[in-house]
Amino acid sequence: MKRILATAGLAAMLAALLAACGAPATAPESETGSGDTAPPAGALNIYSARHYDSDKQLYAAFEAETGIKVNVRESGAPELLETMRAEGSRSPADVIIASDAGALYRFQQAGFTQPVRSAALEAAIPARYREENGHWFGLTKRARIIVFDPQLLSDAEVDTYADLAEPGLKGEVCVRSSTNIYNLSLMGELIERNGADAAAEWAKGVAANLARPPQGGDTAQIEAVAAGQCSAALVNHYYWVRLAEGPPEDRQKTSRTRLSFPDQDGAGTHINVTAAAVAANSASPENALRFIEFLATPRGQELLTTETKEFPLVEGAPLPSGLEQLPDFRQSDFAVQNLGQHQAAAQAIFDQAGWN
Ligand code: FE
């Protein structure tokens, strides 16, 4: 079921027209909160796998701008998937937000998203960061990079993902579990880039280099490198930036480490997204889309990234503090909608390699 976007301008015109006809109208943005114009009916129910204080500001800003009340259910993406499964067609969800294109793929595969068209989103978000039929839209970017100990390794020793599988790094590498979506998505891209056989060889090589069994989240990998438990680890960039922007004890950890943005001379560093979808059974898909469009405005982008330290995806959005210390780097131009289809193959490769 395809929906055609009412752009903000069109919506305002429509509202004015309806008002002139004496029909109930949605509040034009400029009149929000003015009292005599009722806000659009029905609260918007957002299912979010994010958990940041700054998101409260984000929702408040949207409510203030549109008069649309927002209810939020925050939980992990797997839990939200299970919740929606249990709710079935009676799910009150209007918007789904989750990190990693691989997570959105799972919601889409389960039939929990619907395709929508939005001229605003299609203009603001490059095609490689959104689902081609409008099932979901990437909003912020994250890079999966290598954090390493510069006392033990040179830049050249860890300037590719392939380096992590080199015999010279035996006993030096830390990773988190392969069931983690970030690793599944990275593997999905490596399968596309190099083929399944080469990707499997790589996984075996990394597994043979592990300093310890896969464990912990991305922050724990950085801490392990800083503590000398391993020399190199795979992490999403923002975990490092958050530590670097944190209290002195956290900054001390990052100061002992260095970052590598892999594959600068090749396909570029793996990029993933935080993305949002209009839920399949949304009672107000127009308002749901309006919310996602708000996330793609400079203000929405700022509030999405200020605490997370992800990269804004929309041109003209301000860069959150801390990101200025990262180098310019070559980003993979891989279409993130293609990551999810490799999840089963990726997991099988990890399992066979012993990367649990
Ligand atoms: Fe994360």
- For the chain, the average pLDDT equals 91
163-184 average pLDDT score: 98
CA of 135 to the centre of ligand 1 (A): 22
Residue 3 has pLDDT above 60, yes or no: no
pLDDT for residue 41: 61
pLDDT for residue 40: 56
For residue range 111-170, what is the model confidence (pLDDT) as tens digits? 999 999 999 999 999 999 999 999 999 999 999 999 999 999 999 999 999 999 999 999
pLDDT for residue 199: 98
CA of 7 to the centre of ligand 1 (A): 32
Confidence of residue 37 (pLDDT cuts 50, 70, 90): very low
12-22 average pLDDT score: 36
CA of 270 to the centre of ligand 1 (A): 14
Torsion sign across C-alpha atoms 159, 164, 170, 176: positive
Confidence of residue 42 (pLDDT cuts 50, 70, 90): confident
Please state, in angstroms and as integers, the Cα–Cα distance from residue 329 to each residue in 13, 97, 232, following that order.
43, 27, 19
CA of 242 to the centre of ligand 1 (A): 11
Residue 27 has pLDDT above 70, yes or no: no
Nearest Cα to Cα of residue 27 among 9, 14, 39, 42: 39
pLDDT for residue 163: 98
DSSP string, 109-125: HTT-EE-B--HHHHHHS
| Inter-residue contact 98 to 71 (CB < 8 Å) | no
If one compares 6 and 194, the residue with the highest pLDDT of the two is 194
CA of 195 to the centre of ligand 1 (A): 27
pLDDT for residue 1: 38
CA of 229 to the centre of ligand 1 (A): 22
CA of 67 to the centre of ligand 1 (A): 31
CA of 176 to the centre of ligand 1 (A): 12
CA of 9 to the centre of ligand 1 (A): 35
CA of 236 to the centre of ligand 1 (A): 7
CA of 17 to the centre of ligand 1 (A): 45
Interacting residues of 23 by C-beta distance below 8 A, sequence separation 6+:
none
| Inter-residue contact 63 to 33 (CB < 8 Å) | no
CA of 127 to the centre of ligand 1 (A): 23
For residue range 49-65, what is the model confidence (pLDDT) as tens digits? 999 999 999 999 999 99
For residue range 73-102, what is the model confidence (pLDDT) as tens digits? 999 999 999 999 999 999 999 999 999 999
Give percent above pLDDT 90 in the chain: 88
CA of 326 to the centre of ligand 1 (A): 18
Residue 320 has pLDDT above 70, yes or no: yes
CA of 14 to the centre of ligand 1 (A): 40
| Domains of the chain and CATH, by start | 43-141+272-320 (3.40.190.10), 143-270+331-353 (3.40.190.10)
pLDDT for residue 111: 98
CA of 92 to the centre of ligand 1 (A): 26
Report residue 109 as tokens: 């595969």
DSSP state of 210: B
For residue range 272-292, what is the model confidence (pLDDT) as tens digits? 999 999 999 999 999 999 999
pLDDT for residue 230: 98
